[in-house]
Amino acid sequence: MTLKNKNSFCVVDGNEAASYVAYRTNEICIIYPITPASSMGELPDQWASEGIKNIWGTVPQVVTMQSEGGAAGAIHGATQTGALATTFTSSQGLLLMIPNMYRIAGDLTPAVFHVAARAIATHGMSIFGDHSDVYATRATGFAMLCSSSVQEAHDMALIAQAASLQTRIPFLHFFDGFRTSHEVAKIEQLSDQQIRAMIPDELVIENRNRRLTPDNPTVRGIVSDPDTYFQGREAVNPFYNETPGILEKTIGQFKEATGREYKLMDYYGDADAERVIIIMGSAAETVQETVDYLRTKGEKVGLIKVRLFRPFPKAQFLAAMPKTCKAIAILDRTKEPGSAGEPLYEEISTTLIERGEEQNKKIIAGRYGIASKEFTPAMVKAIFDELKKADPKNHFTIGINDDVTHTSLDYDPNFDIEAGSVIRAVFYGLGSDGTVSANKNSIKIIGEETDLFAQGYFVYDAKKTGSQTVSHLRFGPNKIRSTYLISSANFIGCHQFRFVETMAILERAAPNSTFLLNSPFAADKVWDKLPRSLQQTIIDKKIKFYVIDGYKVARDSGMGAHINTIMQTCFFALSGVLPRESAIAKIKDAIKKTYASKGEEVLQKNYAAVDNTLANLVEVKVPSEASSNFDLSPTVSVDAPPFIQEVIGKMIAGKGNELPVSAFPCGGVYPTNSTKWEKRNISAEIPAWVPENCVQCGLCRIVCPHSAIRSKRYPESALKGAPETFQSTKLRGPDAEGDCFTIQVYAEDCTGCGACIEVCPINKGKTGKKALVMRPKQNEPEAERSNLKFFENLPVDPSKVDKLSVRGIQHVNPMFEFCAACAGCGEAPYVKLLTQLFGDRLIMADACGCTLVYGGYLPTTPWTVNHEGRGPAFGASLFEDNAEFGYGFLLTAEKHREQALELIAELADQINAPELINATTNATQKNDSEIAALRHQIAKLKNRLAEINNPRAKQLLSLIDQLVRQSIWAVGGDGWAYDIGFGGLDHVLASGRNMKILVLDTEVYSNTGGQSSKATPRGAVSKFAAGGKPTAKKDLGLMLMTYGNIYIANIAIGANPGQAIKAFQEAENYDGPAIVIAYSHCIAHGIDMQKGMQQQKLAVQSGYWPLYRYNPDRVKEGLNPLQLDSEKPSIPFAEYIKNENRYQILARTKPEVAKELMKLAEEDIARRWRMYEALQRV
């Protein structure tokens, strides 16, 4: 949003709508990233870096904290000393603020927290919206004000700020995460004059005069004894009693300033309504839309929108309720297990009981929309229908099939009330193809340049590469209240041809709609390339069908693979939302605004793409009959286990909503070994192996983030029966006699990132060429599937595999495969390596960042098992507590091992096998062969125990596997290790116990969008550091060296993979705490991800990222514990950073600042090297 001082319409999402007001009406913004609230903090940081001022003519101070708890603490301090301060958060972040919220409210301190309400982690984690987080704060003393739309998020942000100053009660202003926070809509923007009218200077000055100051000293935060605490707690009652009335006056003032009217309890519907739904949040818009429709059918129905939840406005609620009402449904977007009812139900019921009206009305409660589950007019109608019954179901659910406790209501999914005047368009694209950005641009054009109202909502899957996006756009002459996905679209755009092969792409198409397909096949060829069911749908629904080869138009126009402008032009040309000539002109205007700074050449290429689009857009003549001899590909193989086919397969197909409650495992426990069944086929090009050029170095296998390229050594005799196209060559090396070697690419799982191509060395001996080249994927995959099946069945002799070398570990099967990390991800190779080294005894605690998204996000997870069924066990708790969570794993392993040894000693006489007991209890476990031998002994001991009729023997049987040393690692990013979780990490490492930690250092909060952390280097631009980070990177390893008993390694797999393998092995074998800090290049660095490993090399060569190992065991040998594994800086720091946009953007926008920060960064490098060299000499 461009900050401007005049009243106007604009197109924004809910986060920006709220953040705009918060920035304008506060002096301090204290921020910390969490999805889906992060952009509310990013925008103030950006605006402050641009020097944009608030309504008092000063630039607010924007400060990033190490956690949400820290942000709340800083807010408390800032407000106590008289500042107007705000913050933005969601979900677990809000929970971390609760202790301070009690204090802030108890101190009667004005403040507003803006919350994108989101589900709380329970049996699993969800980033999507419900009210479980805000309800968890309802006892803190914060007033709670809810917005149901993007416009309301804008308006209520101001109303909350004004009311907080007037009441001295802090406000929690919330709206639904994603459904409102990320919905893009046309709103009426508040002007500075309107904002100033709501925030009188007198109130601001009064607030400052109450500050903590030595000029008028007071004491706050005192400790009370039982004789006084109770009375002090009750002293605040008048403030809360007066708040609803003051808020009503504030809303009245807002109406005078803007003309927009709100109520604390807003009734909408028939004046004589007999059935009423009570609800708050975005779903109220859907209920209102349905009420309008049902009233046209003669139904006496109504809606009460709850805006103020705390303090609960009883009088206003009772006044809003129609006297004729006979039945009420109270809907909550949360679940509180074991409660008498959810929070809103409890408040309403209590109010009615106190008034004595509960006997005159049927009152039922329902749960809906948890974690952004769809809530549609069909569901609203079902609830109103339920209220007609003499004995309606209480504590019902809607939108799911609860076949376990039978709480759910049935509804007709085909019930549709969308107005014919609304243009409804659905677009299918990839996260990387620009579809979403093009659609946001379309909404902006239509919303800001015409009188039409506009709405956009964007559905993303969780995968960081090859993720599907579905854009839902509505345009119409009236305000759009449809806060649900489009089910009947009059325009469908499919921007990736492969989608038509795997999904019912026209399921949402309305009769006589328009279908636009980006197709590599011409209009006269494409029909035969479509699945039969899709052809039949086009015929049955009389769909107009158009194709364009968007990628060809892009290439011909000099746009590379950027098809967003092309597909946007097609939409305007076909949809009729605007006259074609006018639409094209507006698209070009938008192009000029977006790309003018990139030069005339870029502008002309985009203009050419627009012009060339219309010439290449062709209508397909639809035959009268379907003719294809194939149909949609099966979601998963028929060879998959039943749970994969029946449950996971439904999720993969986008049919998770159809799964009943009984399909789900209780407690959120899911099987591993599932990604291999999800063949995503996202890459058009994949690496091809040229055996004669291969030096068998292993680099391609070690850098592949997705385990999509593998190798094996095997006896030559195993090639008998190999498919004709199977490739192999003689194994190189001194012990290679009689063995062959194959590199196998998993074509359907490869992301085409090119990392393997980049690291593949040129064979300087025989060919002077690389062994890997990128080639288009074969159209007929069956031959490659045969090769793959043969490869996977080749025998492997573990005794011939050296896991401690790069050349050797390439033959170790990873237990982490086909993850959904970004193409070319810098983190995933380390996780894969961890599983290759220790996978069959690995238990991993995860810090809920990127690793959780690509390691533990439904529908599939990348962890696999070996032939014995063993493999990594993966668990996630929260973001901030991962070290402690993993520490709990360790404590269990230690205690259970101790108990097992005690029981063996106790049962020794009954076991009667002293040699077996000795071999089991005194075994060394230094390598895989020793661990395998111990497992063999344990199996024998289990057989003995099974024959002993003693309860203590059964106890021992449940514990005896703990004698095998587990490899326990806490894994996460720098946001966890350097910031929010540092206290726990420090404590766990300081314990001296055998805990292992892997820090995947991307130098930003990668998962929430690339915000700055303490690991972010000086001078780098990131979110929350829009002006370039002014301070140096925290040296975590150096800090931890001061303990003296922690193994520490700094590694970069792209610079020295051998050192990385050695560091992991040493850390694992070190009898004590260990931490490995791994340089992990990231897309947030603004680099070509194919060259990520080269960036790692440059980071090391420049001295920015020194490689070292600090091993306290060396002290016992009289050696210095610190070993520097990289040479002194051999290239300038500038040589490293020139390829990274995170540095270069500052050089372009603020060259003088960039120059100064780069000078300081070079001094940082020199100082650190002097320090490390000095430590090495000690």
DSSP helix/strand/coil, 823: coil
> What is the C-alpha separation between 20 and 54, in angstroms, rounded?
10
* Of residues 18, 590, 122, the one with CA closest to residue 370: 122
| Residue linked to tokens 């631009």 | 1021
CB contact at 8 A, 68 and 1005: no
- What DSSP character marks residue 762? P
> What is the C-alpha separation between 59 and 775, in angstroms, rounded?
53
**DSSP readout, 462-475?**
S-SSS-EEEEEEEE
| Residue linked to tokens 């490899």 | 967
Residue in 490, 514, 1007, 1008 annotated catalytic = 1007
* Of residues 508, 495, 487, the one with CA closest to residue 428: 495
DSSP helix/strand/coil, 111: coil
Residue in 15, 26, 35, 569 annotated catalytic = 35
Find the radius of gyration of the CA atoms of the chain: 32
* Of residues 667, 708, 638, 636, the one with CA closest to residue 859: 636
* Of residues 713, 722, 718, the one with CA closest to residue 788: 722
Query: Strands 308-310 and 143-146: what pairing?
Result: antiparallel
DSSP helix/strand/coil, 916: helix
**DSSP readout, 61-96?**
EEEE-SSHHHHHHHHHHHHHTT--EEEEE-HHHHHH
Structure tokens at 846: 């995860």
Question: Does 35 qualify as catalytic in the annotation?
Answer: yes
Question: Does 625 qualify as catalytic in the annotation?
Answer: no
**DSSP readout, 1105-1165?**
S--EEE-THHHHTT--SEEE-SPSP-S-HHHHHTT-HHHHHHHHH-HHHHHHHHHHHHHHH
* Of residues 340, 391, 402, 392, the one with CA closest to residue 368: 402
> How many CA within 13 A on the CB side of residue 620?
30
Query: Strands 544-548 and 685-689: what pairing?
Result: unpaired
Q: Angle, to 10 degrees, between the axis of helix 564-575 and the axis of helix 580-595?
A: 160
CB contact at 8 A, 829 and 1060: no
> What is the C-alpha separation between 1109 and 1062, in angstroms, rounded?
9
Structure tokens at 486: 């489009």
**Number of helical H runs and strand E runs in the chain:** 43, 37
Tell me the CA distances in angstroms from 1082 to 543, 823, 1001, 1002, one per residue in order: 43, 10, 9, 6
Question: Does 228 qualify as catalytic in the annotation?
Answer: no
Residue in 27, 42, 68, 884 annotated catalytic = 68
> What is the C-alpha separation between 466 and 229, in angstroms, rounded?
58
CB contact at 8 A, 404 and 469: no
> What is the C-alpha separation between 864 and 818, in angstroms, rounded?
10
Residue in 42, 87, 118, 965 annotated catalytic = 118
631 in the Ramachandran plot: left (φ > 0), alpha (ψ -120 to 50) or beta? Answer: beta
- Is the peptide bond preceding residue 36 cis, with omega within 30 degrees of 0? yes
622 in the Ramachandran plot: left (φ > 0), alpha (ψ -120 to 50) or beta? Answer: beta
Question: Does 775 qualify as catalytic in the annotation?
Answer: no
**DSSP readout, 218-274?**
---S----TTTHHHHHHTTHHHHHHHHHHHHHHHHHHHHHHS----SEEEEE-TT-S
Cα three-residue angle 268-272-277, rounded to 5 degrees: 45
Annotated active-site positions, please?
Answer: 35, 68, 118, 1007
